[in-house]
Amino acid sequence: GMEWQSEVDVVVVGSGAGGMLAALVAAKNRAEVVVVEKDKLWGGTSATSGGGIWIPGSDQAKAMGFEDNLDDAFKYVRALSADNVPDENIRAYVENAAPMLRWVTANTGVVYTSQPYPDYHAENPGGSVTGYRTHLPEMFDGTLLGEDLKTQRLPSPAASLFGYLNWTFAETYQLLYRGPGWLTGLAKNMAKYWFDWPLRFTSRKDRRLTLGNALTGALRVALNEAGVPVWLKTPMKELVTENGRVAGLVVEKDGKPFAIRARKGVVLAAGGFDKNQRMRDANAPLYNKAWASGGVTSNTGDAIRAGQAVGAGTMNMHSAWAAPVFHVPGEDRGRLCTIERALPGCIMVNQKGQRYLNEAASYHIVGQQMARRQREFGDASPSWMVFDRKYRHQFPMGPLLPLVPDWLQSGAVKSILKKGRTIAELARDMGVDPAALELQIARFNAGAAKGEDPEFHRGEAAYDKMYGDYRHQPNPCLRPLTEGPFYAMPIYPGDIGTNGGLRTNAKAQVVDDAGQPIAGLYAVGNNAASAMGESYPGAGVTIGPAMTFGYVAARDLTGAN
Ligand code: FAD
């Protein structure tokens, strides 16, 4: 047999939200646990995210006066998800989500609040137009992490100001509309950051942890208190089976193979194949740009391949959490574009200068439409976000911030920003037919002036309106583009992670192609094929299930179920 160098009850592979929560639940159920993390930083894409979780029927929603119904939630997800996703998996998610959040609230320092954030297909049967299924974390004090603060992943450049300053969702809104006190609020947070001397000389991290940093920070503090080690720079290399069950794994530790026996089992939580170009080419030709993914660079599908090597099945490997992204040259990922598309004064066009979608739909729908358009017509990657002078002065557009003049932008941002005094001049800079762009904008403007978008219905759905400018009527998403200079920035069909992966059952056990569980092996998060199939029912449907199935897996492993 194998010569083990270490032995524990449970090994968790990957330190994202799903992995850390599984480790914590197992530890609290008296298992001896270790988390192995490939990167020198912990937290995965989860740390760089919004930290939002989609949880039907939570106590928090009830406190806001929202009476949810789990059958509605099931019906809603079932209709959107893929046919090959078993009912039991969706049921398991819907039924365990609220108990998971209750457990997290009782056992960690993260505070989640229920948000009036509509489901992404709110008008479908079982959807919630008023929201309250999406939950966001409150600010968390990074001081509690001690030295581990410095090895936590920084937030995404798309989810922080100037690439370092953390903000909460509420603060984003205050800044977006420059509401009362926005400047003092910003100045205070910047002062807190720059006068944080102990950290300022040694790290770029902001001690005020928000969004995904707040979630993963709180989980790590709880792991530290429970005595669960997170071994950094320790990639899993392969799984080891004995008598038909997974008995442990081999990692690389200090550059050498190191075998760890897992008495109760292994939880794979190593993310998707976000940054593996070869796996994308082979499995997901529609989402074929590793550089455009918002996932972290260390997510290369290692644990999907390791599962396959011991007989695991896979499912929906062609799918991704699609999203439109900006890409600033030199950055290691695409920047998710969420709010901007819904704001008045901008449109998205293809390389022929034509609109082809409702810009204000969810990032997943827009990302899917862009990818499909590119496959069919070859003119949508990149597409262009086009906006006018007023938009430029009012709102951010990806890396471009209002009030920061064009000449103060970095060279990288300048290199992708197109500008023209007239639409025709802008079009020439973009390499688009000037007459076509002029015609498109004239047509868009005629409808927008009346608050109408007869072609693509922008601003009609509850979701569109949420991100629109509430002060702008009759349609918060539509305003004619009138005054120059006009601007354009390339926008690509990208994603925020792949979401096909190992096949799992309702207990998060990895199964083979015949549906038989592989004893001792579990998979959660983007390492597993999502219960959502190819859909995105609402904000938080990637981390919500990652954590819920982490909770389910750990309870099953430790006999708590
Ligand atoms: P990750 O969090 O990526 O963790 C995987 C970890 O495994 C990584 O640390 C990786 O280094 C490690 N790993 C990889 N290979 C190995 C190996 N061989 N051995 C050991 N470790 C390994 N989703 C939501 O639900 N809500 C949101 O609000 C949200 N906002 C987002 C905002 C942005 C800007 C982006 C980019 C994404 C957002 N997402 C959101 C998507 C979400 O972040 C991911 O889908 C989710 O975090 C994936 O979680 P995970 O646990 O599967 O993987």
For the stretch 172-191, pLDDT in tens is 878 888 888 888 888 888 88
Query: Is residue 302 domain-shared with residue 362, that is, in the same domain?
Result: no
Quick: pLDDT tens for 402-432.
888 999 899 999 999 999 999 999 999 999 9
State the complex-level ipTM: 1.00
Domain count, the chain: 2
The answer on 334 and 282 residing in a single domain is no
Domain at 455, CATH number = 3.90.700.10
Show which of 495, 517, 532 is a domain's final residue. Answer: 495
CA of 181 to the centre of ligand 1 (A): 34
Asked if residue 183 is part of any domain, the answer here is no
Same domain, 337 and 455: yes
Whether 23 and 148 share a structural domain:
yes
Specify whether the backbone of 88 is left (phi greater than 0), alpha (psi in -120 to 50) or beta: alpha
Asked whether residue 194 is domain-assigned, the answer is no
Q: Which of 11, 34, 46, 273 to mutate to test the pocket of ligand 1 (most atoms within 8 A of CB)?
A: 46
- 242 shares its domain with 348: no
> Considering 472, 495, 518, which residue would you say is the last residue of a domain?
495
Domain hosting residue 433, numbered range: 323-495
At residue 544, φ and ψ (nearest 5 deg) are -55, -55
**Distance from C-alpha of 195 to C-alpha of 198, rounded to nearest angstrom:** 9
Confidence band (pLDDT; 50, 70, 90) for 168? confident
pLDDT reading at 511 higher than 90: yes
Q: Which of 115-129, 192-206, 311-325, 544-558 has the lowest mean pLDDT?
A: 192-206
Kindly state whether residue 240 falls inside one of the protein's structural domains: yes
259 close to 248: Cβ distance less than 8 angstroms: yes
Counting ligand 1 atoms within 8 A of each CB, the residue from 213, 291, 299 with the most, and so the one to mutate, is 299
Which of 465, 495, 525 is the C-terminal boundary of a domain?
495
Report which ligand 1 atom has the smallest distance to the Cα of 43: 9
In a domain, 181, yes or no: no
Q: Is the per-residue pLDDT at 341 higher than 80?
A: yes
198 part of a folded domain: no
Residue ranges around ligand 1 (CB below 6 Å): 13-19, 36-39, 44-46, 48-52, 156, 158-159, 235-236, 269-271, 294-296, 298-299, 302-303, 321, 336, 496-497, 525-527, 539-544, 546
Whether residues 312 and 375 share a domain: the answer is no
Same domain, 226 and 345: no
CA-closest residue to ligand 1 atom 46:
46
Residue 491 belongs to some domain of the structure: yes
CATH number at residue 315: 3.50.50.60
Q: Same domain, yes or no, for 221 and 348? A: no
SS percent in the chain: helix, strand, coil, step 5 = 35, 20, 45
The verdict on 42 and 111 lying in the same domain is yes
Query: Does 266 share its domain with 327?
Result: no
| Shared domain check, 487 and 353 | yes
The answer to whether 380 touches 374, Cβ cutoff 8 Å, is yes
Would you place residue 56 in the very low, low, confident or very high pLDDT band (cuts 50, 70, 90)?
A: very high
Protein residue whose Cα sits closest to atom 13 of ligand 1: 270
3-state secondary structure of 257: strand
Whether 125 maps to a domain, the answer reads yes
- How much distance in Å is there from the Cα of 362 to the middle of ligand 1? 20
- What confidence category does residue 164 fall into, taking pLDDT thresholds of 50, 70 and 90? confident
188 located within any domain: no
Determine the atom of ligand 1 nearest the C-alpha atom of 544.
25
Q: Does residue 291 share a domain with residue 277?
A: yes
236 is written with which tokens?
A: 């899993």
Query: Tokens representing 511?
Result: 């199964």
Pick from 37, 42, 45, 148 the residue to mutate for probing ligand 1's pocket: most ligand atoms within 8 Å of its CB: 45
